[in-house]
Amino acid sequence: MSDIELAPGKRARQAYSFDDIAIVPSRRTRDPHEVSTSWQIDAYKFDLPMLAAPMDSVVSPDTAIAIGKLGGLGVLNLEGLWTRYEDPRIPLGEIASMPDKHATRRMQEIYAAPIRPELIKERIKTIRDSGVTVAASLSPARTAELHKAVIDAGVDIFVIRGTTVSAEHVAAESEALNLKKFIYELDVPVIVGGVATATGALHLMRAGAAGVLVGFGGGAAHTTRKVLGIEVPMASAVAEVASARREYLDESGGRYVHVIADGSVGRSGDIAKAIACGADAVMMGSPLAKAVEAPGLGWHWGSEAHHPELPRGERVAVGTSGTLEEILLGPSHAADGSMNLFGALRRAMATTGYSDVKAFQRVEVLIHHV
């Protein structure tokens, strides 16, 4: 990110969103069928470089299974309705039907129900029994308290996800959760975020994270920018964290940490641009909330929407556009980049002559909006 003078004595960094950049075609093209969109983190390989965000409107045990069978990775929110209620369909139905003016307050009340460790085990077992890779998420504040139940239940990939996560902050705030020690003692890969700067990403990489989530405040259901004034445009954020990854690769003697774009990935073009900026994969919410199978019933919200003290998200009407398979793999019946997301990625890679995701990170990009 380049510096500019905002006023005497105050400098600001110029940064770019995905809408500000474009991918440049090369002299070589390929047949789309010869392109691989596969992604591997640790021992786990996926046909699609994507994670479904741990949001109750997106991921249930059933949709985690369906997404896994389609080639992606669904991440279950272990602080959501699935671990607070025996039958979450009742509160999900209420959230989908309540008027806007009561939504935030009522969601705070619904999510005040206690998290039940036995439901954590039950939900993870349901996903595990299907044969797909099991991924689950906790916030930094709950990780020390609940992680043992998660690991004992048999999670394959553990995600620590907050608005912004710092290895220094996590270690200082709670003696029970020293992030570096915590990750070292686990037998599963840990993905941590969000971050948006090279410095923050390097801290998490040095703490042992297998993957780093890049972004905060940019999702369709988030109001972090309005409430806290915090946002970093995603093209610059992803590119900066990818550069930190290269620095850490040299520093560590070859340990590769995955960069995962988390936020502002609403259409297939955004997926392609995220990878072009250096991401290995993307974490998606709102595009999947539009699926017929999505538990949000045409609505989308994240954990920030029901924060007990300072909500930083909203319940957003997204409607229903198609099945999970149509949204991820097609066929598409929309021309706006909202369906056949990874068929479109495959075609973008083919059009620019790249055969796999890692190679596509080297594609030329240009800035067309300043």
**Two tokens, residue 150:** 């998660």
pLDDT digits (tens, 9 = 90+) for 117-132: 999 999 999 999 999 9
C-alpha neighbours within 13 Å on the C-beta side of residue 365:
26
Rounded Cα–Cα distance for residues 253 and 261 (Å): 24
Indicate whether 169 pLDDT > 70: no
Residues 18, 272 contacting (CB under 8 angstroms): no
The backbone region for 263, taken as left when phi is positive above 0, alpha when psi lies in -120 to 50, beta otherwise, is left
Q: Which helix (H) or strand (E) holds 109?
A: helix 100-110
**Model pLDDT, residue 13:** 85
pLDDT tens, position by position, 37-94: 999 999 999 999 999 999 999 999 999 999 999 999 999 999 999 999 999 999 999 9
DSSP state of 42: T
Q: Which amino acid, residue 261?
A: A
For the cut 70, the answer to whether the pLDDT of residue 152 exceeds it is: yes
What pLDDT score was predicted for residue 21? 97
CB contact at 8 A, 118 and 153: no
The predicted-structure confidence for 191-222, as pLDDT tens digits, reads as follows 999 899 999 999 999 999 999 999 975 566 66
pLDDT value of residue 131: 98
The predicted pLDDT at position 228 comes to 73
Which letter does DSSP use for residue 303 in this model?
Answer: G
**Residue 259: band (very low, low, confident or very high) from pLDDT cuts 50, 70, 90:** very high
- Cβ neighbors of 221 (< 8 A, separation 6 or more) are 55, 57, 285, 286, 300, 301, 302, 304, 305, 313, 314, 315, 316
Task: Report residue 5's pLDDT band, with 50, 70 and 90 as the boundaries.
Answer: confident
d(CA 342, CA 223): 28
Higher pLDDT, 223 or 185: 185
- Please say if the pLDDT value at position 168 is more than 70: no
Q: Please give the mean pLDDT across all residues of the chain.
A: 91
DSSP codes joined into one string, 198-257? HHHHHHHHHTT-SEEEE-SS-STTB-HHHHH-----HHHHHHHHHHHHHHHHHHTTS---
Burial class (CB in 10 A: 0-12, 13-18, 19+), 184: exposed
DSSP letter for each residue of 75-108: EEETTSGGGT-SSTHHHHHHHHHS-HHHHHHHHH
Please write the tens of the pLDDT for every residue from 79-103: 999 999 999 999 999 999 999 888 9
What is the average pLDDT across 285-289? 96
SS3 content of the chain, % helix, strand, coil (to 5): 40, 20, 40
What pLDDT, on the 0 to 100 scale, is given for residue 309?
72
Task: Look at the pTM and tell me if it is higher than 0.75.
Answer: yes
pLDDT of 304 = 76
State the pLDDT at residue 308: 67
pLDDT of residue 220: 60
User: Are the C-beta atoms of residues 189 and 41 closer than 8 Å to each other?
Assistant: yes
Is the peptide bond preceding residue 194 cis, with omega within 30 degrees of 0? yes
Is residue 15 over pLDDT 50?
yes
On the question of a cis peptide bond just before residue 331, with omega within 30 degrees of 0, the verdict is yes
CA atoms within 13 A on the CB side of 91: 20
pLDDT band at 6 (very low <50, low <70, confident <90, very high): confident
216-232 pLDDT tens trace? 755 666 666 677 777 78
Evaluate if residue 173 carries a pLDDT over 50.
no
Q: Which pair of tokens denotes residue 153?
A: 């239940």
Quick check: 328 and 48 in contact, CB under 8 A? yes
Helices (H), 252-340: 268-276, 286-289, 324-329
Set out the domains of the chain in order of their start, with CATH numbers. Answer: 2-367 (3.20.20.70)
- Percentage of the chain lying above the pLDDT 90 cut: 74
pLDDT in tens, 309-368: 776 778 999 999 999 999 999 999 999 999 999 999 999 999 999 999 999 999 999 998
Q: Which of 62, 23, 69 is nearest to 48 (CA)?
A: 69
- Residue type at 183 in one-letter notation: I
On the question of pLDDT at 163 being above 70, the answer is no
What band does 166 get if pLDDT is binned at 50, 70 and 90?
Answer: low
